[in-house]
Structure 1
Amino acid sequence: MKLNTLNKNLLCGLLLLSATVAKAQTPADLVNPFIGASTSVAGAGVYHGLGKTFPGAATPYGMVQVSPNTITGGDNGSGYSYEHTSIEGFAFTQMSGIGWYGDLGNLLTMPTTGKLKTAKGKDGSKDGYRSAYNKASEKGGAGYYRVTLTDYNIKAEAAAAPHSGILRFTFPKNEQSRIQIDLARRVGGTSVLQYVKVVDDHTIQGWMKCTPDGGGWGDGDGHADYTVYFYAQFSKPLKKYGVWSADIPDGQSRHLNDVSSDKYQQLIANAAVLPGVKEKEGKHLGFYTEFATRANEQVVMKSGISFSSIAGAKANLNAEIKDYNFDIVKTKAKQLWNNALTKVNITGGTTEQRKVFYTALYHTMIDPRNMEDVNGMYPGGDGKPHTSTGFTKRTIFSGWDVFRSQMPLQTIINPSLVNDMISSLVTLAGEKKKDYLERWEFMNAYSGCMIGNPAIPVIADAYAKGIRNFDVQKAYDLSVGSVEKFGNGTKGYTPEGLSISLTLEYAYTEWCTAQLAKAMNQTGDYQKYTERAQSYKNIFDPTVGWFRPRDKDGKWLAWDGPQTRLKQGYGTIESSPYQQGWFVPHDVDGMALLMGGRAKTIADLEDMFNKTPDDMMWNDYYNHANEPVHHVPFLFNRLGHPWLTQKWTRAICDRAYKNKVEGLVGNEDVGQMSAWYVLAAGGLHPVCPGDTRQEITAPVFDKVAYRLDKAYAKGSAFTIVAKNNSPKNVYIQSAKLNGVNYNKCYIDYKNIADGSTLELTMGPQPNKNWGTAQ
């Protein structure tokens, strides 16, 4: 009897301990940065590839990301893909979730032993400094990464601070151990000129110039032109060191295919090694420091990064990483992530769902990143140094993607960041003497990537929500300049190749401009752009019952039967007429009227979802792998069938997001894919940024609380509670807003900012009487 009681007490104690450990798990503990960390075309079934995220160390919206790189060539924007078998090195800057060849990937650092090799070699080969690695040893987390490089028997660890990073290498016993830095390396190309100087027996400094001639963003077509400055220090004294310098012929093309070629790589492999050189400038440089190591000896390298100056890089490092204590940097990074991730607190769901959620939230907090030094200095679009006043200079605005979910999410949890991004775009236009806003800004470049005027809905949405700490007049003037330069104009549509996508996107951004005009008391502009916002009707052909491209003379382009609606790229970009045709967010009722009325429109939408493959990979129907359809599940709310929004958003959350490398069905696209999940899994999402209406849907979690910024909101938190929630109970039966019965399938942003509580009661069957009040 006593033994049984003892066993029961022991069991109870173990259960209590287990519960305490589970309860102590923080949001940062749930982050799995390997979700989406693949560029595999085969895995995606389409050339766009999978998530294209990176698994390395970062901090929220930080300048620095210290991450493993497995590839320089191909459309591998993050520089990493999980299926590759070897690592080139660890870079201090990375892009997240993008295609178009990518960029950054600078200051590529690699620990090696034995003979110095100056070229990286090919994946799976032994002819370069890259190394195979033990997949089982690879671990990534919020602010930390580690792996064992098997060719050298070296354990590599990375951690990040906002403007600096740190690497810790655990070496074997070896008389010729080494840390080497490829100063020329750049994802999607090469830096075209580098400089390095040994400052003292622990320090080097220098820079790498990255221009369109060296490929990079869009293989040069993205106009990326930036310089990365570094100030790096080593825990082990610099006694035996040097540089290598490849002889790049004058006139040698240095775009991606050129630098990836065997001929060019042979130039690098045969680079001159210059021992003891303390200062060097060249077209393709590397730096190395050699030393003997004891078994399991740890050597640390840390570096500050700046896009303004070497002095800025030094100040950044000194402000953030004062010594060589790797663990302190790792701990601080995790603290930063926990502070950021607790802006959304969830209760309920499975462990897997919580990991998917907090990793998604993590991925929304990589960009738009901080571009200024700790003293506020940043490089302007005019090539001159500037100091920010009243905002933080930010970069990487993936406009066509992020205006849909990512920026609306930030209006709730990070409104100051939205102000920063708008101010950054507005001041950039002034610095570059442009009268319009850039649609896809990268490192001050007007890259011209993708279509539309996506900065305008971000501005209109922010203004409508009371987020106005930017130069409103300049933002408005630039919005007008944008729609006049890129818009449907007096013709009332945009002709030729991308006629459908461009006409619909322009009509929406003209509506957004009209809303800004109304707020600015610009009556004439309001009337003009309100009329232009209806231009979407000019490409709807009632004889085929759908949107159809037109030529410059107004004639319809060929329409080869009903299947034309499913033809990828027909009058569209990265979509089909069927997928793009639903993009009339500012006038859903008008769209439905064109399509034959609500009943016919709903039937067509249901058919689209019913024909979508179970895995939701790239397909001809509801293609969640790309942005044009991201608002479509919420159209059922607008059309009076909210139970179908509830059904399909829950299905998308379950089927398109997984806790695995292939866990994203398409490119992460700088936070957009993940922001959709954060909002939808939480129970709300907009159809039309610029309109304060937020659609309600079925939450994945029992409780979701969004922490609000009191500088912008009256309340401290907006909370959604889902009673009786379960995988089967996907339908809202009833709702209360602040304790009062509520029968609308949407709420206003004001309810969010006021700190309201929305209580939903869930059930297994649709309640077709709930949510129909308008």
Structure 2
Amino acid sequence: MLKKNLIKANTVAILFALITGCSDRVQQPADYVNPFIGASTNMEKAGASHGLGKTFPGAATPFGLTQLSPNTITGGDNASGYSNEHTTIEGFAFTQMSGTGWYGDLGNFLVMPVTGELKTAAGKEEKPEEGYRSRYSKEDETASAGYYGVTLTDYGIRAEMTAAPHSGIMRFTFPEHNQSRIQVDLARRVGGTSTHQFIQVMDDHTIRGWMKCTPEGGGWGNGDGKADYTVYFYAQFSKPFINTGVWSAEIPDSCVRKREEVTSPEYQALVAQAPVFRNVQEMEGKHLGFFTEFATKDREEVLLKAGISFVSLEGAEKNLQAEISDWDFDRIHVLARELWNEALEKISVEGGTKDEKTIFYTALYHTLIDPRTFTDVDGNYPGGDGKIRQRSTFTKRTIFSGWDVFRSQFPLQTIINPEVVSDMINSLVTLAEESGNDYLERWEFLNAYSGCMIGNPAVSIITDAYAKGIRNFDIAKAYTYSRQTVEKFGNGEKGFSDGISTTLEHAYFEWCLSQLAHHLNKPEDEKLYAVRAQSYRNIFDPSVNWFRPKKGSGDWLPWPEKGRLTQNYGCVESNPYQQGWFVPHDLEGMANLMGGREKVIKDLISFFENVPEDMLWNDYYNHANEPVHHVPFLFNRLGAPWLTQRWTREICSRAYHNSVEGLVGNEDIGQMSAWYVLAASGLHPVCPGETRLEITSPVFSKITIRLDPRYAQGKTFTIEAQDNSVKNRYIQGATLNGKTWNKCYIDYADIIRGGTLTLQMGAGPNKEWGN
């Protein structure tokens, strides 16, 4: 009772502050979150086909299953379904992806409030009046942690939404109209279409059903990502049904239903001409939509709430009943904010500008969206074999963009959310077993082995976690599947792979397996994979003094005219100059190959000084993509830590902004933002699997990390940067818990023991400190 009364009191206080804009209220972390940061897919502004951040601005909860967000586009390479430069909205979905390329997926259960004549197709941006989409007002479009609101100007409707972990609620404020409507497009999917749907009217307020999404309907990788999932929903409306209907487009069996086909004029004409069936109780079909029609008074509020499940109809109903039992939109909004404040308080910062705090807390917010829960409130989750499984000792999680997130996102979570790391490892290991694949997927999406990108990042994450004492998973199975993964995708006895990127990354993952074997006292495997970890040397060509791809025969591929600046020459989303720095497990060996420490430092300085001021896509240090994210910290390893301090502050300032275009590249499921959170805090790893973290120049004067008592001995770890400023960006000296600290790195064990790292900052580099 006490907790319930406290929540009620907090609700009243927070709502009063939100409504009145009370300036006396102490700023909470959630107040700094700006979900519009990165909410653009604009290729023109990015200067590259990969686009910008590709985040969504809608309402979510930390690691929640649902995300209620506006969708401005179906099709194209628009994974979030939203891009800020678009001028119309086609609806508000209950599921979204954050910051990825490869065409995207989800965007399911698309809800749209409208008035006037029924239209069954969304229509096009350039002619919104031909469909149910609407222009919207940028001036009053609002987003915050756990909330989104906008006015649909074509209909005069205010749309608001907030989220709970497995459900969400939308509030629509209608004008006076005798033909108002809420319609739900059950076929809609960001990267294509769901291929089969079912809907059932349960009573005069409730519908339930499902949407099956298969590779034949496009989606992740336009079908190449093998996404095959079913979204179940249980939805209730605050206004009783009087006049309902279902539209069912007559899609021929021969019709191709992938991304480009479903957005074609021919396909959309079929949808626009869909027959409408009034007041039916249930229906199955290939392209269904549901609507409820009613008259409204001026400023009348009509609400819709829904539970979402990837398990069953019963699961969706339980999810809604457990989380949103009433129609109190504001209460759910406040609870969502409280969840965000609790999650964001894992790291608190002092000092810095308001914009810098906004960038920081929004970045932290973006790192807390995935890996999302895949488990219903009753503990059920979809297994890798298609069977319903029951949670036992962990929360099943999904959306693991391994190639991106092993670098910064998961190292960050080992500090602030070690249980999430443990959950993800358990999820990958059990998926390998349940699916019968017997190896660890590199880019898992809703149980799909998508095969996206390269390498064996799950092996890195398992090794890093185990080295840091995060071990709440079956290590015997984790090791077995790690070994089988590296054997299936590795340099092996041949000693190289197809290209520079694959060879270098495989060598690193083979090193990770060697380290894991060492921890588990497997000396033969430790030795075998330590030798294979040196296979990066096999593609270093002294004649060009850089890494060079080989043919299958072992002969070199021809060296291109632009040399190591040639994009995609043996590289994935990079060039040899960018990818060639990726030997994190043997930097001394790498430097020796390249001509020694002094030569490498000089080359690295050139690598950074040739970067354009805006740090958008380029041939040098390309922060817009992951292969270089560890490179600024190499100066620490090479004996020039003041250059790490200089360049991490430059990147934080030039590549991150409090604006829609505030991310220079794709958010990539938390990776881009995790880099900022760590670097702005003064810490970042070079080689996950080691417990060493590099120390660099923090953006803030004080950073306090709250540690998880289940994994850490200390309560907090604090970094204090005395006399810190834009000018004073160089570390002059340091103490750890009052004792002189002359190292430019710190061990994970020192962090979780708790304490204070104090840095004395100054205007010029101290080249003696940290060496």
TM tier relative to shorter chain: over 0.9
The answer as to whether partners of 1:501 and 1:571 remain within 8 angstroms in 2 is: yes
Residue equivalent to 1:356: 359
The one-letter amino acid of 1:202's match is H
The one-letter amino acid of 1:761's match is Q
C-alpha deviations, 1:262-302, integer Å up to 9, x for none? 00000000000111111000000000000000000000000
The one-letter amino acid of 2:688's match is P
CA distance in 1, matches of 2:476, 2:719: 36
The one-letter amino acid of 2:534's match is Q
The answer as to whether partners of 1:696 and 1:747 remain within 8 angstroms in 2 is: yes
* Deviation, structure 1 residue 389: 1.1
Residue equivalent to 2:6: none
User: SS of 2:544's equivalent?
Assistant: coil
Question: Is 1:245 equivalent to 2:248 in the alignment?
Answer: yes
- Equivalent residue runs for 1:253-402 within 5 Å: 253-402=256-405
User: SS of 2:276's equivalent?
Assistant: strand
Residue equivalent to 2:432: 429
* Deviation, structure 1 residue 19: 14
The one-letter amino acid of 1:502's match is T
Question: Is 1:702 equivalent to 2:705 in the alignment?
Answer: no
Question: Is 1:590 equivalent to 2:589 in the alignment?
Answer: yes
* Deviation, structure 1 residue 520: 1.1
CA distance in 2, matches of 1:759, 1:713: 20
The one-letter amino acid of 1:145's match is Y
User: SS of 1:286's equivalent?
Assistant: strand
* Deviation, structure 1 residue 519: 1.0
CA distance in 1, matches of 2:126, 2:40: 17
The one-letter amino acid of 2:194's match is S
CA distance in 1, matches of 2:392, 2:623: 39
Question: Is 1:43 equivalent to 2:51 in the alignment?
Answer: no
The answer as to whether partners of 1:730 and 1:763 remain within 8 angstroms in 2 is: yes
CA distance in 1, matches of 2:746, 2:25: 32
User: SS of 1:137's equivalent?
Assistant: coil
CA distance in 2, matches of 1:305, 1:289: 20
The one-letter amino acid of 2:245's match is G
CA distance in 2, matches of 1:549, 1:446: 27
CA distance in 2, matches of 1:128, 1:506: 49
C-alpha deviations, 1:380-416, integer Å up to 9, x for none? 1101000111100000000000000000000000000
User: SS of 1:635's equivalent?
Assistant: helix
CA distance in 2, matches of 1:613, 1:480: 42
Residue equivalent to 1:131: 134
CA distance in 1, matches of 2:66, 2:591: 47
Q: Which runs of 4+ in 1 moved over 4 A?
A: none
The answer as to whether partners of 1:349 and 1:700 remain within 8 angstroms in 2 is: yes
CA distance in 2, matches of 1:471, 1:738: 36
C-alpha deviations, 1:578-598, integer Å up to 9, x for none? 000000000011000000000
Residue equivalent to 2:74: 72
Residue equivalent to 1:646: 645
The one-letter amino acid of 1:351's match is K
For residue 117 of structure 1, the aligned residue among 116, 119, 124 is 119
The one-letter amino acid of 1:623's match is N
The answer as to whether partners of 1:717 and 1:756 remain within 8 angstroms in 2 is: yes
The one-letter amino acid of 2:595's match is G
- Equivalent residue runs for 1:441-520 within 5 Å: 441-495=444-498, 499-520=499-520
* Deviation, structure 1 residue 250: 1.1
CA distance in 2, matches of 1:533, 1:493: 10
The answer as to whether partners of 2:560 and 2:566 remain within 8 angstroms in 1 is: no
Residue equivalent to 1:12: none
CA distance in 1, matches of 2:73, 2:325: 32
CA distance in 2, matches of 1:379, 1:559: 49
Residue equivalent to 1:8: none
Question: Is 1:568 equivalent to 2:544 in the alignment?
Answer: no
User: SS of 1:200's equivalent?
Assistant: coil
The answer as to whether partners of 1:91 and 1:107 remain within 8 angstroms in 2 is: yes
CA distance in 1, matches of 2:624, 2:685: 18
CA distance in 2, matches of 1:757, 1:397: 33
- Equivalent residue runs for 1:606-645 within 5 Å: 606-645=605-644
CA distance in 2, matches of 1:124, 1:132: 10
User: SS of 2:139's equivalent?
Assistant: helix
The answer as to whether partners of 1:360 and 1:675 remain within 8 angstroms in 2 is: yes
Residue equivalent to 1:53: 55
Structure 2 unmatched runs, 5+: 1-19
* Deviation, structure 1 residue 452: 0.3
* Deviation, structure 1 residue 124: 2.9
The answer as to whether partners of 1:194 and 1:206 remain within 8 angstroms in 2 is: yes
Residue equivalent to 2:172: 169
CA distance in 1, matches of 2:319, 2:674: 30
Residue equivalent to 1:745: 744
* Deviation, structure 1 residue 740: 0.1
Residue equivalent to 1:108: 110
CA distance in 1, matches of 2:206, 2:655: 47
The one-letter amino acid of 2:353's match is T
CA distance in 1, matches of 2:188, 2:663: 28
CA distance in 2, matches of 1:144, 1:20: 19
The one-letter amino acid of 1:337's match is W
Identical-pair percentage? 67
Q: 1:421 to 1:22 in 2, by over 3 A?
A: farther
Residue equivalent to 2:533: 533
Residue equivalent to 1:757: 756
User: SS of 2:23's equivalent?
Assistant: helix
* Deviation, structure 1 residue 326: 0.6
CA distance in 1, matches of 2:396, 2:24: 39
User: SS of 2:385's equivalent?
Assistant: coil
CA distance in 2, matches of 1:610, 1:45: 19
The answer as to whether partners of 1:52 and 1:96 remain within 8 angstroms in 2 is: yes
The one-letter amino acid of 2:389's match is H
* Deviation, structure 1 residue 666: 0.1
* Deviation, structure 1 residue 23: 6.5
The answer as to whether partners of 1:242 and 1:278 remain within 8 angstroms in 2 is: no
Question: Is 1:180 equivalent to 2:179 in the alignment?
Answer: no
CA distance in 1, matches of 2:384, 2:330: 37
The one-letter amino acid of 2:459's match is I
* Deviation, structure 1 residue 434: 1.5
RMSD: 1.0
CA distance in 1, matches of 2:368, 2:412: 11
Aligned pair count reads: 751
Residue equivalent to 2:10: none
Structure 1 unmatched runs, 5+: 1-17
* Deviation, structure 1 residue 25: 1.0
The answer as to whether partners of 1:124 and 1:132 remain within 8 angstroms in 2 is: no
* Deviation, structure 1 residue 21: 3.3
User: SS of 2:124's equivalent?
Assistant: coil
* Deviation, structure 1 residue 20: 9.3
The one-letter amino acid of 2:122's match is K
CA distance in 2, matches of 1:272, 1:23: 54
The one-letter amino acid of 1:704's match is I
Residue equivalent to 1:13: none
CA distance in 2, matches of 1:436, 1:704: 39
C-alpha deviations, 1:619-638, integer Å up to 9, x for none? 00000000000000000000
